[in-house]
Structure 1
Amino acid sequence: MTTSGTPATGDEDARHRARASRAAARGGLRYLGLLPFLAYVGVFLVFPTFIVVLGAFQDGQGNVSLTNVRALTQRVYLEAYARSLQLSAASAAIGAVLGALLAWALSTANPRGPLRRAASSACAVLSQFGGVTLAFAFIATFGLTGLVTEFLKDHFSIDLFSYGPWLFELPGLTLVYSYFQIPLMVIVFLPALEGLRPQWRDAVHSLGGSTWHYWRHVAIPLLAPAFLGSTLLLFANAFSAYATAAALVSQGSPLVPLKIRAYFTSEVLLGQENIGKALGLSMIVVAAAVMVFYALLLRRATRWWR
């Protein structure tokens, strides 16, 4: 029996090895689809990050130095960071509150209705609307000779610029940033609102609770991690924004991204590119910290939606 069973066992092992090799080959072919993505991430994210980190700790001769990092403690850079953080926090707060209210309104609409689909599509488009186009739109609307500015001045004797060129300073940037922060909040917060189960509201009502009790003791605690995580995402989005501020602001209201641009484009600051890289490194640290907190809050929020 041993002699007759051995060849069968050997054939079975060979078939197992053949199937395993074919499965491994198919798995390798599936991973080949990741190569374009990995190449894209390597060229446009990993390699530039490596160059920024390396240059931040080098002097003009290429020697290892902390001079660039120490320079960030100067007043001019601290003021730029204060403005960037203030702008990011203000626009994130406005976008989070108004976007959450709009997302709640959309969550009550028919998911397959034309209003819901049109609003969702508009938010997807407007959340990516920025740069020179957005800056020009606000200048043409609320600028010194903008459409709304002239209309209010001619018909109601209201001068929007009686207290200065606010559109080209921090208040104006906050308004412009809120334009794409609000629809972005709708996109990232709407799934959390849709995750609220009707059974939870029914359970509160069956126990004698009101709508206020439902929101106070059930909905708001469940939505709080998702809301805070979405707010952090808006903060990171505003903190790293560059094109809109560069098109709207030239010299006033210095921000960290505009300071970095100055070190790579200004003829006055030639040879000091590594300070710009140190500023870029500090932005990477801030953005990474924000995204870590966002990931922790997102993990906490997803416990209830499983």
Structure 2
Amino acid sequence: MPEKALAAPRRKPRGTALLGAVPFFGYVAIFLIVPTLVVVIGAFAGTDGAVSSANVEALTNGYLLDAFGRSIVLSAVSALVGAVLGALLAYALVTASGLVRRIATSAAGVLAQFGGVTLAFAFLATIGLSGFVTVWLHDHLSIDLYANGVWLFELPGLILVYTYFQIPLMVIVFLPALDGVRPQWREATESLGGSTWQYWTRVAGPLLAPAFLGSTLLLFANAFSAYATAAALVSQGSPIIPLQIRGALTSEVVLGQQNVGKAMALGMVVVVAVVMGLYSLLERRTAKWLG
């Protein structure tokens, strides 16, 4: 008597399969979609509650344009410096031993999240006006770090502090791309008579370029949206746009600027959305050859 054919497993209803994603969608809705809607609605709301473009038009004021410009310069310079130094460090880790790589990547993961008040205090205690390095250089080598002004609390100081956490972040995001470069490609280049320069400019360089540019854009977005470190370091003035938003929302001198602050936040959302859109395109191109 022939055996009975095994019954095909029953498929779970499609709705049941999506239940596992409900917490994720709830998280995205609460912490991303709802705040974005609040910013968009507030940016186009007038003082009387009617729809108005006055808040967005206020972004053309000179001091706000300057703040956006300084934020872009801060983000671009710290991202570029962090990308170059981080890429060199990541390449060194690719050729290092397993133990050194594990220790370095673990440290990079910690330092990439080391920001805010803690990072500002660390720089103040190190190279601040009364920092131990500042005092030591002045007493032993007669070097005055602040001979040309208190630069640590201005844009150059912010660039230095931001670069501190940009470098380890670059190591984390760029290391997988370097791992995708196969040693056989270099061996093939050398067997065909190619030099090291030709290998990097014609083989590895073009392959790593999308990953490098994408990582740089990610660093730009990371710096552009950072707030806590600058807020803790810059006690007076609002040189960058996140601090301008803080002033618009909390100022007791100029009242009724909350919706202008939301318009500034909307401008930041637009900039970050464009940058992350470009990053997504470059990531897709990188994933083709990594796969």
TMscore range, shorter length: over 0.9
The letter of the residue matching 1:100 is: A
Q: Match for residue 52 of structure 2?
A: 65
Q: Match for residue 9 of structure 1?
A: none
Q: CA deviation at 1:31?
A: 2.3
Q: CA deviation at 1:253?
A: 5.1
Q: Match for residue 177 of structure 1?
A: 162
Q: CA deviation at 1:24?
A: 2.5
The counterpart of 1:259, out of the listed 239, 244, 253, is: 244
Instruction: Give the number of the structure whose alpha-carbon radius of gyration is greater.
Output: 1
The letter of the residue matching 1:259 is: Q
- Cα distance in 2, alignment partners of residues 212 and 86 from structure 1: 32
Q: Match for residue 42 of structure 2?
A: 55
- 1:166-245 correspondence to structure 2 within 5 Å: 166-245=151-230
Q: Which shifted more, 206-215 or 27-36?
A: 27-36
Q: CA deviation at 1:213?
A: 1.4
Superposed CA deviations along residues 141-167 of structure 1, whole A, max 9, x for unmatched, are: 010000100010111000101111110
The counterpart of 1:126, out of the listed 111, 122, 141, is: 111
What RMSD in Å do the two structures reach over aligned CA positions?
Answer: 1.4
- Cα distance in 2, alignment partners of residues 188 and 178 from structure 1: 15
Tell me if the contact between 2:78 and 2:160 (Cα under 8 Å) persists in the aligned partners: yes
Q: CA deviation at 1:254?
A: 1.6
The letter of the residue matching 1:258 is: L
Classify the secondary structure of the residue corresponding to 1:299: helix
Q: CA deviation at 1:28?
A: 3.7
Superposed CA deviations along residues 103-138 of structure 1, whole A, max 9, x for unmatched, are: 00001113xx21110000000000000000000000
Q: Match for residue 143 of structure 2?
A: 158
Matched, 1:297 2:282: yes
| Alignment coverage as a number of residue pairs | 286
- Cα distance in 2, alignment partners of residues 268 and 129 from structure 1: 33
Tell me if the contact between 1:263 and 1:272 (Cα under 8 Å) persists in the aligned partners: yes
| Alpha-carbon spacing, 1:253–1:162, altered in 2? closer, same or farther (3 Å) | farther
Q: Match for residue 65 of structure 2?
A: 78
- Cα distance in 2, alignment partners of residues 134 and 62 from structure 1: 41
The counterpart of 1:97, out of the listed 84, 88, 106, is: 84
Q: Match for residue 23 of structure 1?
A: 11
Q: Match for residue 23 of structure 2?
A: 36
Q: TM-score if structure 1 supplies the norm length?
A: 0.91
The letter of the residue matching 1:96 is: A
Identity percentage of aligned residues: 65
Q: CA deviation at 1:30?
A: 3.8
The letter of the residue matching 1:99 is: G
The counterpart of 1:282, out of the listed 256, 267, 270, is: 267
Superposed CA deviations along residues 241-284 of structure 1, whole A, max 9, x for unmatched, are: 00000000022352111111111111123222110000000000
Structure 1: segments with no counterpart, 5+ residues: 1-11
Q: TM-score if structure 2 supplies the norm length?
A: 0.95
- Cα distance in 2, alignment partners of residues 48 and 268 from structure 1: 26
Classify the secondary structure of the residue corresponding to 1:208: coil
Classify the secondary structure of the residue corresponding to 1:304: helix
